[in-house]
Amino acid sequence: MATVLIPTPLRKFTNHTSKVTVRSTKVSDVMMELTASFPDLTKHLMDADGKTASFINIFVDQDDIRNLNQEQTEVTAKTVISIVPAIAGGVQK
Amino acid sequence: MKHEDIQFSKEELERYNRHIIIPEFGLEAQKKLKAAKVLVVGSGGLGSPVLLYLAAAGVGTIGIVDGDVVEDSNLHRQVIFGIDEIGLPKVDAAKRRLQCLNPHIVLHVYNTQLTSANAFALIKDYDVVADGTDNFPTRYLVNDACVLLGKTNVYASIFQFEGQVTVFNAINREGQRGPNYRDLFETPPPPGLVPSCAEGGVLGVLPGIIGSLQALEVIKVITGIGETLDGRLYIFDALTFSSRTFNLKRNPANPLNGANPTLTELIDYEQFCGVKAIERRVKEITAKELYDWQVQGKDFQLIDVREPDEYELVNLAAELIPLGSVLAQADKISRDKKVVVHCKMGGRSAKAIRELEDNFGYQNLYNLKGGILSYIEEIQPELTRY
């Protein structure tokens, strides 16, 4: 089962869990599985069409899925999937 | 001045001795630091350690851009300032501290926010920019200005327990530019989706850690020692004490420098980030109509979404629910009768109404046009204006 690392800003939507194990074998299914388990994550990860939001990056091990096979990128039991959101710090103007 | 032509005084050589005796660093790297011009955008949580370490390291010319003043709530993380400087412009307070730290460097301060109108003029004379700003519009502005001017942008960002560091738009050994912010994040998150540090907080020591890494990368970019984070994104999770480094690549669809660039000048970044998006109109009530409802004894609820200190200054005996907590306290807002929502001038209350309508489907909310100021002006001029 692959592991998804949840960034600290999104952990309030995963019951403060930092690692989630998933059964899915490609990134799009991983995201579906993740948001099915934690529905509040959805608007932070996906756009209205259900695609990965453009202010989120998903890395499979060290590489951006946009440089792999996008959401069709396959994952194995040893894969670590990282979600990296845009953060700006300070005051949102 | 070329670094080969740099000379050091006896005092400078003594000051930088521990740098110069590092075999991989030496006098050569120290000369490069003295010849370098670095612009630090933002002198807050990240800017504090960046400025302190770059000044201490002997970066010859440092510019500081910040239009804020020092506040007490800054001091848990903005370690360049002290309590004597509360109320002073940050750039002046920072300059004073850095001059005490290192009299051998030149400091230029700009007591202003970076804008599309001034960004090129402020950045063009510097070699490297360190982005320690605190909001998405300025992040994209710094990025775009650096790409369009051909400057390297050493980027760091923090939120609560998370830090990110990378080097954008650097020239690698093959002479090619590396990725920039728009390769990493094509668009910013919608306004309000990501809470700000003002709402979500930040652990004070985190910008110290991340800002120090940012200063490290600035020094490496200038001196050419080691391998910078060009093409890599470093993430630090303070809660689990784990860090990861990811590979970044340029995106051919990047509108600044992709295959078909469409962005050739700076834009309105507030609009780009949706901060100034054309907002849906909400139902309104004038001060006179509100007064009539009051005189008629009409059954309605009056909500004030300003902050407690504003309420203390002057109020209309409304229920106080500050904008930041309006969704959390929605159960206190009636659905059965008309509800008038007000703030100082009408902006925050309109936002509160939109949030309540979007999240809870309210249809009975009315915005007091012109806010409490309008009510004071038209109905009760004896009340305190502010």
Q: Are residues B374 and B300 in the same domain?
A: yes
CA dihedral B262, B263, B267, B271 (to 10 degrees): 50
Domain total for chain A? 1
Q: Look at chain B and report how many structural domains it folds into.
A: 2
- Pick the range with the lowest mean pLDDT from A71-85, B199-213, B363-377: B199-213
Are residues B241 and B301 both part of a single domain?
Answer: no
Q: Residue B367's domain is classified under what CATH number? A: 3.40.250.10
* Domain end residue (candidates: B272, B297, B319): B272
In a shared domain, residues B61 and B161: yes
- The verdict on B87 and B147 lying in the same domain is yes
Tokens coding B85: 């400087």
Per-residue pLDDT tens for B135-162?
899 999 999 999 999 999 999 999 889 9
pLDDT in the model for residue B279: 64
In a domain, B64, yes or no: yes
Indicate whether B71 and B157 sit together in one domain.
Answer: yes
Could you give the dihedral angle defined by the CA atoms of residues B380, B382, B383 and B386, in that order, rounded to the nearest 10 degrees? 110
| Residue A42 clears pLDDT 80, i.e. is over it | yes
Say which CATH number the domain at A36 has.
3.10.20.30
Mean pLDDT taken over chain A: 91
Answer yes or no: do B109 and B248 share one domain.
yes
The pLDDT confidence band at residue B198, using thresholds 50, 70 and 90, is very low
- Averaged over B40-50, what is the pLDDT? 97
Taking a C-beta distance cutoff of 8 angstroms, is the pair B181, B140 a contact? yes
Q: How much of chain B, in percent, has pLDDT values that exceed 90?
A: 85
Q: Tell me what the mean pLDDT of segment B38-54 comes to.
A: 97
Contact call for residues A55 and A86 (beta carbons, < 8 A): yes
What does the pLDDT read at residue A91?
43
Task: Convert the pLDDT of each residue in B337-364 to its tens digit.
Answer: 999 999 998 888 988 999 999 999 999 9
Domain-located, residue B371: yes
Give domain status of residue B172, yes or no. Answer: yes
Answer with the one of B272, B305, B337 that is the final residue of a domain: B272
Q: What is the pLDDT of residue B227?
A: 96
Minimal CA separation from A84 to chain B, in Å: 8
Co-location of B107 and B189 in the same domain: yes
Which of B113, B237, B270 is most worth mutating to test chain A (most A CB atoms within 10 A of its CB)?
B237
Nearest to B247 among A7, A9, A64 (CB): A64
Rounded Cα distance between B167 and B130, Å, is 9
Residue B219 has pLDDT above 50, yes or no: yes
Q: Would the CB atoms of A62 and B197 count as touching at under 8 Å?
A: no
Q: Which domain holds residue A9?
A: 2-85
Q: What are phi and psi of B169, to 5 degrees?
A: 60, 35
Q: Which residues of B are catalytic?
A: 197, 343
Is there a contact between B39 and B123 (Cβ–Cβ < 8 Å)? yes
DSSP classification of residue A34: H
Q: Which residue is listed with tokens 């540090």?
A: B197
**Both tokens assigned to B25:** 């660093």
Q: What percent of chain B has pLDDT over 70?
A: 96
pLDDT of residue A92: 33
Report the pLDDT averaged over residues A60-84.
96
Tell me the shortest Cα–Cα distance from B385 to chain A, in angstroms: 25
For residues B340 and B373, membership in a common domain is answered with yes
What residues pair up with B304 in beta bridges, in sequence order? Answer: B320, B342
The answer to whether residue A93 scores a pLDDT higher than 80 is: no
**Measuring CA to CA, which residue among B61, B63, B3, B62 is closest to residue B30?**
B3
Q: Does residue B153 sit within a domain?
A: yes
Q: Is the residue at A34 inside a domain?
A: yes
Element (H, E) at B167: strand B162-168
Q: Kindly state whether residues B103 and B66 are assigned to the same domain.
A: yes
State pTM to two decimals. 0.80
Asked if A42 reaches chain B (Cβ–Cβ under 8 Å), the answer is: no
- Give B10: exposed, middle or buried? Use CB within 10 Å, 0-12, 13-18, 19+: exposed
pLDDT band at A90 (very low <50, low <70, confident <90, very high): low
The rounded mean pLDDT for chain B is 93
Task: Please check whether residue A91 lies inside any domain of the structure.
Answer: no
Residues B183 and B253 occupy one common structural domain: yes
Res B213 pLDDT > 60: yes
pLDDT score at B204 = 93
Q: How many Å lie between the alpha carbon of B289 and the closest alpha carbon of chain A?
A: 32
Residue A58: inside a domain, yes or no?
Answer: yes
Q: Which residue has the higher pLDDT, B137 or A47?
A: B137
Q: Flag whether B308 is in a domain.
A: yes
CATH number at residue B65: 3.40.50.720
Span A3-28, average pLDDT: 94
* Residues B255 and B290 grouped into a single domain: no
Q: Is B237 in Cβ contact with A7 (below 8 Å)?
A: yes
User: Could you list the residue range(s) of the whole structural domain that residue B342 is in?
Assistant: 284-378
The residue that leads in pLDDT, B367 or B273, is B367
Is the predicted pLDDT of residue B181 greater than 50, yes or no?
Answer: yes
Q: Are residues B327 and B234 in the same domain?
A: no
A80-85 and A2-5 beta bridge pairing = parallel
**Looking at the domain assignment, is residue B277 inside a domain?**
no
Residue B12, pLDDT > 90, answer yes
How high is the pLDDT of residue A47? 85
The answer to whether A67 contacts B247, with C-beta atoms less than 8 Å apart, is yes
Residue B336 has pLDDT above 60, yes or no: yes
